[in-house]
């Protein structure tokens, strides 16, 4: 199992550009989520999904879009990048509705810089 | 405002010492409190977690102490080792609405040999 994978590892964007951060998991997890990690702020939830076709907002959803067409993939789209979106982005997944399903598995992260 | 407040921001401990990281929360609906460990360049990984029906949970050298009335919980690392040097995050969630986790701001632990 590869677990949770994220691409790219690093990305530099100019203000106003758009891009998609990719996330995939091979554990057949129903729940997937995106966090951003900023110094002194911990991890903050951007969007999450409980299954294909079902997404919802987290704490800091503005400026980000998501969709979930398959169980495996959960891409995060930045429509018009802003310097405030400079951050490290983590994707996570977990099972739903089973014993011991509380554990979230995180990907290795994407470091995004917006200039 | 942050739902979970974590302290200290950084911590230096000698090898063999005890590392203590504290977290506090306000929302009494929280009923699941995990701790995550993150090494540089990696994603966080679950270390240990507690539900409020117990006051303490121990796994190896790692112990969570939970004080429901004070709305505080802490991570104790006994016999700290240089390999424990990492950033630690506490978090909180609600089992009946498990879709959202709220993280503390993180503590960078440095264990000196």
Chain B residues in contact with chain A using a Cβ-Cβ cutoff of 8 Å: 2, 4, 6, 9, 32, 34, 41-46, 49, 89, 91, 95, 98-106
List all residues 6 or more positions away from A99 whose beta carbon is below 8 Å from its beta carbon.
Answer: none
Predicted local confidence at residue B102, as pLDDT:
93
B42 contacts in chain A (CB < 8 Å): 108-109
Find which of A43, A50, A87 to mutate to test the B interface (most B CBs within 10 Å of its CB): A43
A57 and A45 Cβ atoms separated by less than 8 Å: no
Tell the burial category of A83 from Cβ atoms under 10 Å away from its Cβ (0-12, 13-18, 19+).
exposed
Q: What is the pLDDT of residues B40-97, one digit of tens each?
A: 999 999 999 998 889 999 999 999 999 999 999 999 999 999 999 999 999 999 877 7
Predicted local confidence at residue B108, as pLDDT:
97
**Cβ–Cβ below 8 Å for B99 and A4:** no
Strand A87-94, strand A110-114: pairing = antiparallel
What is the Cα–Cα distance from A29 to A104, expressed in whole angstroms?
10
Residue A98 has pLDDT above 80, yes or no: no
Question: In whole angstroms, how far apart are CA A92 and each of A5, A84, B49, B66, B78?
Answer: 9, 22, 17, 26, 29
Predicted local confidence at residue A100, as pLDDT:
53
Coil/strand/helix, residue B83: helix
B64 and B75 Cβ atoms separated by less than 8 Å: yes
What is the Cα–Cα distance from A51 to B10, expressed in whole angstroms?
38
Using CA coordinates, name the residue in chain A closest to B87: A42
> Locate tokens 């977290």: which residue?
B23
Residue A41 has pLDDT above 70, yes or no: yes
Predicted local confidence at residue B94, as pLDDT:
86
What is the Cα–Cα distance from A7 to A79, expressed in whole angstroms?
17
**Cβ–Cβ below 8 Å for A108 and B41:** yes
Residue A99 has pLDDT above 80, yes or no: no
**Cβ–Cβ below 8 Å for A106 and B45:** yes
Coil/strand/helix, residue A19: strand
H and E: helices and strands count for chain B: 0, 11
What is the Cα–Cα distance from B36 to B38, expressed in whole angstroms?
7
């Amino acid at each position: 199992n590869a677990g949770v994978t994220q691409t790219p590892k690093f990305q530099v964007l100019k203000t106003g550009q758009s891009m998609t951060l990719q996330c995939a998991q091979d554990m057949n997890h129903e729940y997937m989520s995106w966090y951003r990690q900023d110094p002194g702020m911990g991890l903050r939830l951007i969007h999450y999904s409980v299954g294909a076709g079902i997404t919802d907002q987290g704490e800091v959803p503005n400026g980000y879009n998501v969709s979930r067409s398959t169980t495996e993939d959960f891409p995060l789209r930045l429509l018009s990048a802003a310097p405030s979106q400079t951050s490290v982005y983590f994707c996570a997944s977990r099972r739903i509705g089973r014993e011991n399903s509380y554990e979230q598995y995180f990907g290795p992260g994407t470091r995004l810089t917006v200039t | 405002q942050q739902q979970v407040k974590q302290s200290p921001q950084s911590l230096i401990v000698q090898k063999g010492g005890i590392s203590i990281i504290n977290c506090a929360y306000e929302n009494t609906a929280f009923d699941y409190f995990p701790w995550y460990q993150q090494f540089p360049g990696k994603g966080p990984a679950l270390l240990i977690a507690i539900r409020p029906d117990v006051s303490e949970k121990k796994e190896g050298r790692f112990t969570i102490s939970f004080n429901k009335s004070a709305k505080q919980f802490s991570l104790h690392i006994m016999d700290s080792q240089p390999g424990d040097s990492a950033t630690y995050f506490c978090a909180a969630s609600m089992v009946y609405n498990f879709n959202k986790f709220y993280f503390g701001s993180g503590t960078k632990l440095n264990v000196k040999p």
